[in-house]
Amino acid sequence: MTMVTNPLTIGFWLWLAYQTGALVLGQPLAQPTPTGVAAPTWLAEFGWPTVMGMGLFAVGGSAGGYLSVKMIWRLRVWLRRRARR
């Protein structure tokens, strides 16, 4: 199923990562480059903001997931203790 859904969603996530990374780095949003531009030029323009955005998503998602699991676990333990009393 991953092979079916990833091609449908990767464009959105890359776009969102670029937008987030450009905002954090304070770079203006790049205009679409004309065809025939060399790959290093394209990567220099879009690469770092996208890498920054994906890094922020990774750190934020992992921290959010960790905190969510901790809070749900504590709530579950609290409810069980309350029910036992």
Taking only the tens place, the pLDDT of each residue in 4-37 is 778 888 888 888 999 999 999 888 877 666 666 6
d(CA 49, CA 55): 10
| Structural domain total, the chain | 1
pLDDT reported for residue 36: 67
pTM: 0.71
Domain that holds residue 8: 2-27+39-53+61-84
With respect to residue 72, please indicate whether it lies within any of the assigned structural domains. Answer: yes
* Per-residue pLDDT reduced to its tens digit, 41-63: 777 778 888 999 999 999 999 99
Residue 34 within a domain: no
Please determine, for residue 78, whether its predicted confidence score (pLDDT) is greater than 80: yes
